[in-house]
Structure 1
Amino acid sequence: MSSKPSVAEIEKFNKLKLKKTETQEKNPLPAEETIEQKQEGES
């Protein structure tokens, strides 16, 4: 038997068994004001 699931196995998978999770941004982008301040400091 191969390690990849067959299409039939995927079709009968019960999505209700999956847990709900909240995703959190690990490296959020800086605020626009912060970017502007850094650009002004470089000039």
Structure 2
Amino acid sequence: MSDKPNLEEVTSFDKSKLKKTETQEKNPLPSKETIEQEKQAASS
């Protein structure tokens, strides 16, 4: 094994063979309104 990685396959990679995917957020952050409601519920 050499110290330097072999970049030959990376440079010759064909991006057009990749499928287009739609990214979906699994853990979306709560909205500002939701955070305020949580704070008010916790303090009362």
1:1-43 deviations in Å (ceiling 9; x for gaps): xxxx721111111111011101000111112111101111222
What does 1:4-43 align with in structure 2 at a 5 Å threshold?
A: 6-43=6-43
Identity of aligned residues (%): 62
Separation (CA, whole Å) in 2 of partners of 1:9 and 1:35: 47
Q: CA RMSD in A?
A: 1.5
TM-score (norm 1): 0.73
Q: Which runs of 5+ in 2 are unaligned?
A: none
Instruction: State the number of aligned residues.
Output: 39
Q: Which runs of 5+ in 1 are unaligned?
A: none
TM-score (norm 2): 0.72
